[in-house]
Amino acid sequence: MTYELYYWPGIQGRGEFVRLALEEGGASYRDLAVLPRAEGGGVPAILKALEARGNRRPPFAPPLLKSGRRVIAQTPNILLFLGAQLRLAPADEAGRLWTHQLQLTILDLYLEIFHTHHPLGDGYAYEEQRAAAKRRTQDFLRVRLPKFLGYFERVLALNDRRGPWMVGRRLTYVDLSMAQVLAGLHYAFPRASARALRSRPRLRALETAVLARPRIARYLASGRRVPFNNEDLFRHYPELDR
């Protein structure tokens, strides 16, 4: 089966969590964000999928994943589906729910990272909310980031005897997502993230292990991955990296 992924071009965003799962799972997929318009890709294809008539279960926003006639939206929902399809989640129900729970928590952290530079909402430019962003970021780096990273380090410690992964003995999609968030933190807050991760060896080891996966390494070296940039959810403003 060939999947179709719909997400906005030019940014990694939430679509990157899905791409990493598709890449690690060795799936055949069409990425509409990078497909030329002449070949049915680009923004028009995404808008068409969002506005498709006759869909009694319409999506709210990308990312969307098409699998046959099925259209699945919301990043954790897509990953819950792909976890079973691509063997990137445990086979038992308790394990699947635990993996899904961790993914939801990772995306809570992801949203808080976005709110550091846009605490008043993305309807305002960063320059219009710089003072609020500095205040929000100070609290995030001092309180919220250590709380999240401490939690994930504890999860890894509880699974320590089974390897470097968060769930069981095999890599799951939450390991890929965690590595993606850590990579984003390195871009957005190179100084602060290095300081925060200094005392979290298991998180550092997980990121290293994910990046060393053959399929992930090939994807990162392929040129197909959109670089981090300041139009994305991870953004680097030097004055916030304290």
Question: pLDDT digit of tens for each residue in the chain (242 aa)?
Answer: 799 999 999 999 999 999 999 999 999 999 998 888 888 888 988 888 888 777 778 889 999 999 998 999 999 999 999 999 999 999 999 999 999 999 999 999 999 999 999 999 989 999 999 999 999 999 999 999 999 999 999 999 999 877 899 999 999 999 999 999 999 999 999 999 999 999 999 999 999 999 999 999 999 999 999 999 999 999 999 999 98
In this structure, the number of other CB atoms found within 10 A of the CB of residue 56 comes to 4
Tokens of 207: 């990121």
pLDDT at position 216 is 98
pLDDT at position 49 is 86
Fold of 93-213: Glutathione S-transferase Yfyf (Class Pi); Chain A, domain 2 (1.20.1050)
pLDDT at position 14 is 96
- Of 24, 46, 26, nearest to 37 by C-alpha is 46
Tell me the residue ranges of DSSP E strands in the chain: 2-6, 28-31, 64-67, 70-73
DSSP code, position 129: G
pLDDT at position 162 is 77
pLDDT at position 38 is 81
Domain spans, the chain: 2-85, 93-213
Q: Which CATH class is domain 2-85?
A: alpha beta
pLDDT at position 225 is 94
Tokens of 33: 């964000």
Q: Is the peptide bond before 63 cis (omega within 30 degrees of 0)?
A: yes
pLDDT at position 104 is 98
